[in-house]
């Protein structure tokens, strides 16, 4: 199957479908170290203004609460119906906001904000107002910034969507996964097309600029025929962006997945056929394959950013905001300031204990070396633009590319012979047949993976 920028070749996919990271960061979060602690983050927060340079800010808030459990979920979440828990969490979140802001050098201009989870819409209207008030007390949210929230259509109506719009949210990510009822029952997420459509229609009516919809392929009881019906319903909703994620069944790592019956999962071949169908249907409907599970309409900002070479990748996926420092708040949240990443503690008790002691709740992090920064720029270019200028890397990082990456280029030759990449003079280009496998191509430049070939911790590329 061929589209303008994508070739689906089942044989190549089977050959190169290995376990590997998703590269929302490089180095990946499993490489962070506990030697990077609260004092290290504090230092870097203060260094932002050194030399008069100060990037705009992106803010991420992790809201871990959910009313019910979805069996496929691999997120850090807490299943509860008790709003006393979210009320307490917001008090501590306000303290973390205040502490990070107090230590922050440079501008407090925010151009991007995202609420993820968990289920951010678990919060009541009063709690959501309280959170945004805390943010605005310490940061300046610029007009027309990107302010997004993940929404569970099963729990909200028109009034909540209108309220979120009034608060300043203008982008929305809506979880669907699959509309087939037997699939929904198998993963414990019952959600009708009608309630999903109500939320999306409400978002358009109340001024949301962009609506993204999440699907998962490889779930129990899925097949090509039923998923084709789901795709038809998705196309009727006509979201601006679609994320099509591969379900990674890792019950040893994620306890809720133990409730999924393995025999109900589609075979590897069936899963490939579902993916092939989805790609064909979406691209025929005019969606552009951005890369790594993401599709967008031709006039969407992501598509435009990719055409113009401005696309970026961070912990929320693809982004148009390449130059931001990312401040992260809440349990397990990951931030990025200049050449460092940091991740918060993962449990509520640890989070509350750290803040009670007036300490930033940092679990671990990493300060990138010159080699890390070099490899990060290569992996970003491959993941976002499917091509890499050797000369621009040499100029930016003062290296001789071919001698520095002699081993990597030798490994890349096998992929070139298979038609996944093309090495032509000063350029390395990911060919249409390699675009679905770009994670595997990026892995060649991952120094940590080259040193340790242990990949079982990662999901498969497809």
* 427-430 sheet: strands from edge to edge: 387-389, 427-430, 421-424
70 is in an annotated binding site: yes
Residues 171, 146: Cα–Cα separation, whole Å: 7
442 is in an annotated binding site: no
Residues 157, 62: Cα–Cα separation, whole Å: 22
Dihedral sign for Cα atoms in the order 176, 178, 182, 187: negative
- E strands within 15-126? 57-63, 65-66, 78-79, 109-117
Label residue 25 exposed, middle or buried (CB < 10 Å: 0-12, 13-18, 19+): buried
DSSP, collapsed to helix, strand or coil, labels residue 341 as strand
Q: Contact at 8 Å (CB) between 325 and 57?
A: yes
Residues 422, 428: Cα–Cα separation, whole Å: 6
Q: Contact at 8 Å (CB) between 154 and 190?
A: yes
In 288-369, alpha helices (H): 301-307, 348-356
150 is in an annotated binding site: yes
66 is in an annotated binding site: yes
In the DSSP assignment, the letter for residue 365 is E
334 is in an annotated binding site: yes
- Structure token pair of residue 442: 């990026």
117 is in an annotated binding site: yes
DSSP, collapsed to helix, strand or coil, labels residue 109 as strand
349 is in an annotated binding site: no
- Structure token pair of residue 120: 């951010």
Q: What is the 3-state secondary structure (H, E, C) of 293-305?
A: CEEECCCCHHHHH
Angle between helix 390-397 and 370-385 (nearest 10) = 150
177 is in an annotated binding site: yes
Q: Where is the binding site for S-adenosyl-L-methionine, in residues?
A: 60, 72-74, 117-119, 150, 177, 189, 214, 248, 334
Q: Where is the binding site, in residues?
A: 60, 66, 70, 72-74, 117-119, 150, 177, 189, 214, 248, 334
Q: Where is the binding site for [4Fe-4S] cluster, in residues?
A: 66, 70, 73
């Amino acid at each position: 199957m061929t589209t303008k920028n994508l070739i689906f070749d089942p044989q190549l996919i089977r050959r190169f479908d290995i376990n590997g990271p998703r590269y929302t960061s490089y180095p990946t979060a499993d490489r962070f170290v506990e030697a990077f602690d609260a004092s290290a983050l504090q230092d870097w927060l203060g260094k932002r203004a050194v030399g008069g340079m100060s990037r705009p800010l992106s803010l991420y808030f992790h809201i871990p609460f959910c009313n019910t459990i979805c069996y496929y979920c691999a997120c850090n979440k807490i299943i509860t119906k008790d709003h006393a828990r979210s009320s307490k969490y917001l008090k501590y979140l306000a303290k973390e906001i205040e502490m990070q802001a107090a230590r922050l050098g440079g501008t407090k201009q925010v151009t991007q904000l995202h609420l993820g989870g968990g289920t951010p819409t678990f919060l009541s209207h009063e709690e959501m107002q309280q959170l945004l008030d805390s943010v605005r007390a310490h940061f300046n949210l610029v007009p027309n910034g990107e302010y997004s929230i993940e929404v569970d259509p099963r729990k909200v109506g028109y009034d909540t969507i209108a309220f979120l719009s009034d608060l300043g949210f203008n982008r929305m990510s809506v979880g669907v996964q699959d509309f087939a009822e037997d699939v929904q029952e198998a993963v414990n997420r019952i959600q009708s097309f009608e309630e999903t459509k109500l939320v999306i229609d409400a978002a358009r009516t109340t001024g949301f600029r962009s609506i993204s919809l999440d699907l998962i392929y490889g779930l129990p009881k899925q097949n090509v025929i039923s998923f084709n019906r789901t795709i038809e319903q998705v196309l009727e909703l006509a979201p601006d962006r679609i994320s099509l994620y591969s379900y990674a069944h890792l019950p040893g790592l994620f306890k809720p997945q133990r409730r999924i019956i393995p025999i109900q999962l589609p075979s590897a071949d069936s899963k490939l056929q579902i993916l092939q169908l989805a790609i064909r249907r979406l691209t025929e409907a005019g969606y552009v394959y951005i890369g790594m599970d993401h599709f967008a309409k031709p006039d969407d900002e992501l598509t435009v950013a990719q055409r113009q070479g401005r696309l970026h990748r961070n912990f929320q996926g693809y982004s148009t905001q390449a130059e931001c420092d990312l401040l992260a708040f809440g349990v397990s949240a990951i931030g990025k300031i200049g050449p460092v990443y940091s991740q918060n503690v993962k449990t509520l008790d640890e989070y509350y204990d750290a803040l009670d002691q007036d300490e930033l709740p940092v679990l671990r992090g990493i300060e990138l070396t010159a080699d890390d920064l070099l490899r990060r720029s290569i992996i970003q270019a491959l993941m976002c633009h499917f091509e890499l200028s050797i000369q621009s890397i040499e100029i930016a990082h003062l290296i001789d590319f071919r001698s520095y990456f002699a081993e990597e280029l030798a490994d890349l030759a096998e992929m070139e012979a298979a038609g996944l990449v093309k090495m032509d003079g000063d350029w390395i280009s990911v060919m249409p047949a390699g675009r679905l496998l770009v994670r595997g191509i990026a892995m060649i430049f991952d120094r940590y993976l080259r040193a340790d070939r242990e990949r079982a911790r990662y999901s498969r590329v497809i």
